[in-house]
Structure 1
Amino acid sequence: MGLGNPAPLGLLAFGMTTLMLMYVETGWAETEFEYVVAGNAIFYGGVGQMLVAIFEIIHGSSFSFAVFFSYGAFWLGWAFVLVERAKDYSAFGDASYPTGMTLFLIQWGILSTCFFIVTLRKNICLIVVFVLLSTTFYLLAAATATSSLAVKRAAGYFGFFTAVGAFYTGVAELINEEWGRHVLPGLRPILSPALKDISKEEIQKLTSYDKKSNSMFLQFSGLQVYRKEHIAAIREGVKTAILDATKDSGGEQKVHVIVDYKNVSIAKDLEEDYWEMTRFLERHYYLSVRRFCVSSFGTRMGGDNQQQRNAAMSDGEGSSAKNSHESTAKLEEASG
């Protein structure tokens, strides 16, 4: 059984913790409430996000690992400094360092801006979150440098909407995954590959076979199915590839199949025909099948039911197995 999608937890941890701090920054809550935020920042915003980051790198998503680990560490550091300064004999004493804090906040704004650039290939939700987050850090830096309460309040409002955006993205991923379709909008990839025709011969080129494990990897990443002829081409291409690969087996001509569904899209009116075609292949040519599907941040391995298949079509971007040997190892691990 494959791992689930850890990204929603990371988004919720970031959103909830940021939301709590922004209550203080906007003036809605007492300054002392920061100590409550610190407790949440340590366990939920800090440790929670860093655990998510570890699972994301296991899934193969460098971007989500960098994001969640960075902000998880940020929250742990913020909470540590806050709690340490509250002690009677704090190493920080009563020192004030507005210049250092300004530079600190600017560098986090720059990092968030860099993350924003990466999200331009992701989806609307993440783009909005990182635009707002970058702006929040820059405004906090300006407020620290100028001691302006008005700018601090403005930063608080931007941070508030950042948190709401992260919270929405996390919840949307959970709901869309559970329903197997886009119930809540904003997670579709911004960039889609140009439409191109699909032929039986091209499909055969997208297959690779590992004789030792009797496994075939279908590298369907970026495939766009928008004509009925494409479905027929996929069926015949996969069928021919399997028959050619197993013609000397002397037994049943069936294989274990691993399919990469990264950024695959299927025209809505062809979805039922497509999945009927896959059921035909499963009955006649597959011993087993594993499908890789992806979230808005990274990659997860999906199961074989209809709902998970549809989810593979509707989620965002991430990395997948690079060759049939790696995929076969994942299959054998899952089967074991």
Structure 2
Amino acid sequence: MAQPTPDLEKNETMHYEGRDVQRTITPGGHPIDYSQTPLPQFHRKLANPAPLGLMSFGTGFFLTCFLTLHARGVKTPNVVVPVLMLYGGIAQWITGLVEMFSGNTFGATVFGSYGAFNMTYAALYLPAFGVIQAYTLADGSISPELNQAIGLYLIVWMMVTIMFMFAALRTTAAVFATLTFTALTFLLLAINEFTGNDAARIVGGVFGLVASASSWWAAASALWVPDTTFGALQVSPIGMARR
């Protein structure tokens, strides 16, 4: 006599030799699968973030050094604050994060650091941070300590930049020139803050313009590619690594 077939929709259990058999199909007749639904693999390509970081660094540094040279008679540099905060700082932070996700330690460290430099330098001029107010005397004049403190600030960033220079010896001439002239700019502007030497301010400002031009050079070498521009406009960053 044939055994009755269990009704799976009524949650009846099948048996085999006295033992329960695990249900392998749903009441609707579909195979049961308790495993997690696998996520599809996407091979996404990230854009090269370096041109953004190099352009933002060069632009902010160029404007800062232009004002350091008192271009067009401008001696109040506060116009550079929004450029350093919103372009130099944020754009370089974004660049540093993308470089980090891409596995580029050098790019993540350099762009992240200079993004912070742009932010901190701009913060010196913002009343909310109280930096200048802290060095304001009772009579409203600025204490000479402010110049010494800014000089030390620039020396610290010169030391950081020198560390980046050694890490860039096998990169490109454009990147190495950017870091070299940036370090010289920090040094000369620090000397100006320490001593009041006006020649150091002028030479430091000129070196800063060269650093900015080198940064734009490096950015153009990655931005002006065959997909976007004509061959006559393409520039080479001049690789320094041995082949």
Q: Give the TM-score normalised by structure 2.
A: 0.72
Q: Distance in 2 between matches of 1:45 and 1:177?
A: 27
- In structure 2, the partner of 1:131 is 180
CA drift of 1:96 comes to 3.4
- In structure 1, the partner of 2:10 is none
Select which of 75, 88, 106 maps to 1:31: 75
Deviations 1:132-172 (A, max 9, x none): 11110110111111101111011000001111111121122
> Is the CA contact (8 Å cut-off) linking 2:189 and 2:200 kept in structure 1?
yes
Select which of 102, 112, 137 maps to 1:69: 112
Q: Distance in 2 between matches of 1:8 and 1:182?
A: 19
Q: Distance in 1 between matches of 2:223 and 2:170?
A: 21
Select which of 166, 191, 201 maps to 2:241: 191
1:130 maps to a residue whose letter is L
Q: Distance in 2 between matches of 1:156 and 1:53?
A: 26
* 1:119-268 map, 5 Å: 119-176=168-225, 178=227, 184-193=234-243
| Distance verdict in 2 for CA 1:149–1:188, change over 3 Å | closer
* 1:63-102 map, 5 Å: 63-84=106-127, 90-93=133-136, 94-97=142-145, 98-102=147-151
1:167 partner SS: helix
- In structure 1, the partner of 2:153 is 104
How many aligned positions are there? 191
| Distance verdict in 2 for CA 1:128–1:77, change over 3 Å | same
| Distance verdict in 2 for CA 1:169–1:31, change over 3 Å | same
- In structure 2, the partner of 1:254 is none
Compare the two structures and name the one with the higher strand fraction: 1
| Distance verdict in 2 for CA 1:99–1:11, change over 3 Å | same
Q: Distance in 2 between matches of 1:129 and 1:186?
A: 15
Q: Distance in 1 between matches of 2:197 and 2:94?
A: 36
Deviations 1:184-233 (A, max 9, x none): 3442431234xxxxxxxxxxxxxxxxxxxxxxxxxxxxxxxxxxxxxxxx
Q: Distance in 2 between matches of 1:107 and 1:182?
A: 41
List alignment gaps of at least 5 residues for structure 1.
Answer: 194-336
> Is the CA contact (8 Å cut-off) linking 1:84 and 1:91 kept in structure 2?
no
> Is the CA contact (8 Å cut-off) linking 1:85 and 1:92 kept in structure 2?
no
| Distance verdict in 2 for CA 1:191–1:85, change over 3 Å | same
Q: Distance in 2 between matches of 1:37 and 1:173?
A: 26
> Is the CA contact (8 Å cut-off) linking 2:220 and 2:235 kept in structure 1?
no
1:192 partner SS: coil
Deviations 1:212-266 (A, max 9, x none): xxxxxxxxxxxxxxxxxxxxxxxxxxxxxxxxxxxxxxxxxxxxxxxxxxxxxxx
Q: Distance in 1 between matches of 2:234 and 2:168?
A: 19
1:15 maps to a residue whose letter is G
- In structure 1, the partner of 2:87 is 44
Matched-pair identity in %: 24
> Is the CA contact (8 Å cut-off) linking 1:102 and 1:144 kept in structure 2?
yes
- In structure 2, the partner of 1:60 is 103
**Rg: which structure is higher?**
2
2:144 maps to a residue whose letter is S
1:156 maps to a residue whose letter is G
> Is the CA contact (8 Å cut-off) linking 1:13 and 1:45 kept in structure 2?
yes
> Is the CA contact (8 Å cut-off) linking 2:62 and 2:209 kept in structure 1?
yes
1:184 maps to a residue whose letter is Q
* 1:268-283 map, 5 Å: none
> Is the CA contact (8 Å cut-off) linking 1:52 and 1:68 kept in structure 2?
yes
| Distance verdict in 2 for CA 1:84–1:99, change over 3 Å | same
The alignment status of 1:10 with 2:10, answered yes or no, reads no
Root-mean-square deviation over aligned CA pairs: 2.3
2:178 maps to a residue whose letter is V
2:240 maps to a residue whose letter is I
Q: Distance in 2 between matches of 1:182 and 1:54?
A: 33
Q: Distance in 1 between matches of 2:134 and 2:148?
A: 19
CA drift of 1:128 comes to 1.0
